[in-house]
Every structure is written in structure tokens, then in C-alpha cells.
Amino acid sequence: MSPSDPAAAETVDVGRPAPARASPGRSGPARSSRNRPSAGRHTLALFRSELHLVFGRARTWVLLAVLAAVPVMIGVAIRLSGSEGDAEGFIGQVAGNGFFLIVASLAVSLPFFLPTAVTVISGESLAGESSLGTFRNLLTAPAGRSRLLAAKMVSLAVFCLVATMVIWLSGLIAGFLLFPVGDVLLLSGTTVPLGDGLVRALGIAVLIGLSMLGLAGIGLFVSSLTSTPLAAMAATFGSFIVCGILSAIPQIDVIHPWLLMYGWPSFADLLRDPPYWDAIWRNLLLQAGYLAVFYAAAWARITSRDING
């Protein structure tokens, strides 16, 4: 392991315009491992530059805009059709209480929109660097690889949470504008004040955001295998689809509890009185399991990767 030459660190700046300001942080620890005291600050700078990279892209904002449009579209559709809640479930309650637009939108986004967004962002994360030619430069600083991966993962997690928060906020605004809003009827038949309901909806948004972490981990690993972002996205989404198909086959229900999306509907347990935590914890554990396995695999791939490859 030879220390990287400063020239390589310089090229990082050229290839990555957005995080240019933070680049000294990226190359700093690699240049001298004795430079400990400022390592924390450098790490922070690296994480910040990654966030800049993710949220500096136009496609991220387009994805977020699409997600923000989900509650608006559902709300307008229900408002125009003017149905008095014949539909079952959360959608049927929207007309009576705008609060349920938040929950319904989150529930509608969960099986498809959110996984798509997460797939796009995670597929891009490492493969994008490779395709831009910046990855080689990043990899010439071996000490920074683990940290780089951590920064990628953290920015992915932040994106997952921001995405669900956007739906929550958009649902809140659209729900308040389009429908009457009042006390919230829980699944158990009890009614809680609106504030309590909004906190529960916020919890649902966080839970659904965390539910995406397993998929984000898969995406990160796949992204470390290839230098073509599109291939990484396709492969990640492909594995997501395969998981979905497997979970629809009743003959193999033995493996269903191990599938990525098995625990996703557990978010609704927050709307019981009292909330039923069992399934929620199991889902979070499963996501943590997926994340641990695929993050470790991505780490092994990144740190053992041939620099010229």
C-alpha cells in the first residue's frame, strides 16, 4: 500500500466539480495517516461532498418532484371523482379526512415509485464514478475507500429518508388544501387528535424510508461491480422484481419471510392502538440484515478492486 501521489488527488477535483471544495478532505487522510486530529473533520467533509453530489444532480430533483406529485395526483383524482369513500382502506378515507392522503400516498408509493427512485440513485452511486472516470482517482487513495463507501451509503440513506419526507410534506399540504381535516380514526376503531396522527404519519414516513435501506444496499453492491450506471440500475431493479415475483408464489412461502419486501406493509401497524411493534421490528431487522450483507460485499469489492479495472 503506497501512499497516493498528490497528483492523483488533484485530478479528483477536475472530475468532480460539485464536491470540489471538499476534495482536500478526501485526499487528506490518504496523504498522511499521521494527520489524525483532523480525520473527523475530513470525514465530515467527505460526507458533505457526497450529499452535494447526490442532491446536486438534476435527476435527484426530478425523482423527488415525481414523488411529491403522487399525493397531489391522488388528491385531485379523488376530489374530482367526488366519491364519498366507497373504496376500502386508506384511499377510501381520504375524502372524509385529508390526513389520510399522507398515509395513502406513502402506501401507494411503497411498492413501486420509491423502489424505482432508490434503484436509480443507488445504481448511480459507485458506477457513476466509474463511468465519469473519477473512480480510478478515488481508488488510488486506498485508506479512503472504506470511508468513501460509508459516505456513499450515508448519502443513500439520507436520500431514502428525504424521499419519504417529501411525500409526507406534499401529502400534508395537498390533504389540507383539498379535503376537510380532523381527528384521525385508527385501524383499531379509536380516534386520536390530528397532532397525534401527524406524528404517526411521520413515523410511517421514517419506517418506509428505512424499509428502502435493504434495496439501497443491494444497489450499492451492484453498483460496485460495474462501471455502467444503467446496468447497475437494471440489475438492482431486476433483483427487486425477482424478489417481488418470489413473494407472489404461495408454494415457496417458507422463504417469504426472508424476502426484501415481506415486512414492508408493517408500517400500517403504527396506526393501531396501541401500535403493534412486532412486525415493525422484524422488518427493520430484515432490512438491517440485507444492508449488512450487501454493504460488506460492496466493501470487499471496493477495497479489493484492481485500480486499473
Q: Do the Cβ atoms of 219 and 114 come closer than 8 Å?
A: no
| Minimum CB distance to another protein smaller for 19 or for 197 | 197
Bridge partners, residue 184, by sequence: 192
Secondary structure element (H or E) that encloses residue 226, with its range: none
Closest distance of CB 92 from another protein, Å: 7
Task: Out of 188, 241, 242, 255, point to the residue binding another protein (CB under 8 A).
Answer: 188
- The residues near 21 (Cβ < 8 Å, ≥ 6 apart) are 49
Taking CB under 8 A as the rule, does residue 244 contact another protein?
no
Size of the site for another protein (CB under 8 A): 38
- Using CA atoms, how far apart are residues 46 and 40, in angstroms rounded to an integer? 10
Residue type, 84: E
Among 142, 143, 162, 206, binds another protein (CB under 8 A): 142
Site string for another protein, 245-284 (x = CB under 8 A): -----x-------x------x--xx--x---x-xx-----
Exposed (0-12), middle (13-18) or buried (19+): which is 195, by Cβ within 10 Å?
A: exposed
| Residues within window 190-219 making contact with another protein, judged by CB under 8 A | 190-191
For residues 16 and 145, which CB has a smaller minimum distance to another protein in the complex?
A: 145
Alpha-carbon distance 307 to 278, whole Å? 45
Among 132, 150, 187, 246, the residue binding another protein under the rule CB under 8 A is 187
225 contacts another protein (rule: CB under 8 A): no
Return the residue of 66, 173, 198, 293 that touches another protein, per CB under 8 A: 293
H or E segment to which residue 257 belongs: none
When asked if residue 300 is in the footprint of another protein (CB under 8 A), the reply is: yes
Measured distance CA(162)–CA(32) in Å, rounded: 35
Number of H helices, E strands in the chain: 13, 2
Classify residue 276 by its DSSP letter.
Answer: -
Give the HSE-up count for residue 103: Cα atoms under 13 Å, Cβ half-sphere.
Answer: 28
* The one among 23, 93, 227, 283 contacting another protein by CB under 8 A: 93
Among 90, 113, 159, 168, binds another protein (CB under 8 A): 90
Binding mask 99-128 for another protein (x = CB under 8 A): --------x---------------------
User: CB–CB of 157/111 below 8 Å?
Assistant: no
Q: Which of 85, 158, 162, 244 binds another protein (CB under 8 A)?
A: 85
**Which residue from 248, 304, 308, 309 is in contact with another protein, where contact means CB under 8 A?**
304
Buried b (16+ CB within 10 A) or exposed e, 71-97: bbebbeebbeeeeeeeeeebbbbbbeb
Q: Is 167 in the site for another protein (CB under 8 A)?
A: no
Rounded CA separation 190/188 (Å): 6
Our CB check for another protein shows the closer of 4 and 23 to be 4
In three-state secondary structure terms, 192 is: strand
Q: Closer to another protein at the Cβ: 38 or 303?
A: 303
Residues within the interface to another protein (CB under 8 A) = 1, 85, 88-90, 92-93, 96-97, 107, 142, 182-183, 185, 187-191, 250, 258, 265, 268-269, 272, 276, 278-279, 289, 292-294, 296-297, 299-300, 303-304
